[in-house]
Amino acid sequence: MTIMGRIASAFAARSRKTRKVVDTNCLQSEALKAYLSASAHNYAVLTNYAAMEAYKGDTLKSIYSSMEILAQHPQQVIILTGTQDICALNGRAAASLQPLTDEVQTREFPEFCQHLLAAKGGDLSLQEQLLENGREATARIERMLNDMPTLSSGIDLMAKTYSPEELKILRRREKHTPQMRERLIQNVLLLAAQFFKEHPSVTEWPRGPQVRNTFIFRYALCGYISILKRIEDGGAGKTKPEKLRNDVIDVNFAAFATYFDGLLTSDKRAGEIYAEAAFLLREVFAMPPWWLRVLLSIGGRSQPAFSR
């Protein structure tokens, strides 16, 4: 490479945007502060769950502290569109990343930070708006507990699809057998098919290899990894509903992180879900899509959306 080529390459590397999804538990961390301070090209990506968790509880205390670091770098924050809308995107649109971003909220984030400062300074009208957002966020997160008994039952039913010997392999964290890897592929596809069928935002099932780029598929992948981790821990029977709810939120963060440059989190479990999902997308659910025929080859039930 010529000197000019090396200079151009180095400049491109320095100017490339790095976009990482930020877990709520990292909003007040030194890791986030260091990441944003290291380069103006480092961006924090916020999901709707990060916003909800920042608002919940004692809103006028939690929201100020949660946004303090981001408010110091307001031009380096990307706000994502609501999950419901993202679930409606086809794989090609989702992979392009642009439709994932809420352009208006992202553009107005610096103004939002100014409003936070004014509210902290005593603006009662702005404080009431924040409190209303907090009440709504808290209610939505609390409502999630209603679905946890169903999730718990589903985890235990999934555990029964493994033989006693396979359960030992899972609980010892040993390498999966080829049969277990095939079952993982099958179960991820079937779980995604169920989500596509039931989700209100889906009007047409995705066809062909682009299914791997839809949010619902990636959510199913991360969800199944999370289920396996609960099975490794002995099942969901003794797991508190609040922990299962946290699992669901971790899955959401991890699924979004697969579109970007990683996940900033202090939660080991969430980090592992993301890392394993990224590996499987790269190594197992890779292109060309040989995996679309797996259901047929192992005798499972296929779905037309995945086979055309």
Q: What is the 3-state secondary structure (H, E, C) of 185-246?
A: HHHHHHHHHHHHHHCCCCCCCCCHHHHHHCHHHHHHHHHHHHHHHHHHCCCCCCCCHHHHHH
Q: Which of 215, 229, 121, 223 is nearest to 173 (CA)?
A: 229
Torsion (CA) 202, 207, 212, 216 in degrees, nearest 10 = 10
pLDDT of residue 272: 97
Residue 17 near residue 43, CB atoms below 8 Å: yes
Q: Which residues, including other chains, have CB under 8 Å from residue 40's CB and lie 6 or more apart?
A: 75, 76
pLDDT of residue 122: 95
pLDDT of residue 300: 43
pLDDT of residue 292: 59
Q: Which of 233, 215, 212, 237 is nearest to 290 (CA)?
A: 212
Q: Which of 261, 275, 195, 193 is nearest to 229 (CA)?
A: 275
pLDDT of residue 289: 59
Q: Which residues, including other chains, have CB under 8 Å from residue 222's CB and lie 6 or more apart?
A: 251, 254, 255, 258, 273, 274, 277
pLDDT along the chain (308 residues), means of 10: 54 71 97 97 97 91 95 97 93 93 97 96 96 94 94 91 93 92 88 89 77 94 96 87 95 98 96 97 77 48 42
Q: Is the peptide bond before 288 cis (omega within 30 degrees of 0)?
A: yes
Phi-psi domain of 262 (left: phi exceeds 0; alpha: psi -120 through 50; beta: other)? left
pLDDT of residue 307: 40
How buried is residue 22: exposed, middle or buried, by Cβ count under 10 Å (0-12/13-18/19+)? buried
Residue 167 near residue 180, CB atoms below 8 Å: no
Q: Which of 57, 59, 83, 54 is nearest to 69 (CA)?
A: 54
Q: Which residues, including other chains, have CB under 8 Å from residue 216's CB and lie 6 or more apart?
A: 87, 192, 195, 196, 199, 202
Phi, psi of 267 (to 5 degrees): -95, 115
Q: What is the DSSP letter of 139?
A: H
Residue 283 near residue 277, CB atoms below 8 Å: no
SS3 280: helix
pLDDT of residue 57: 85
Phi, psi of 80 (to 5 degrees): -85, 155
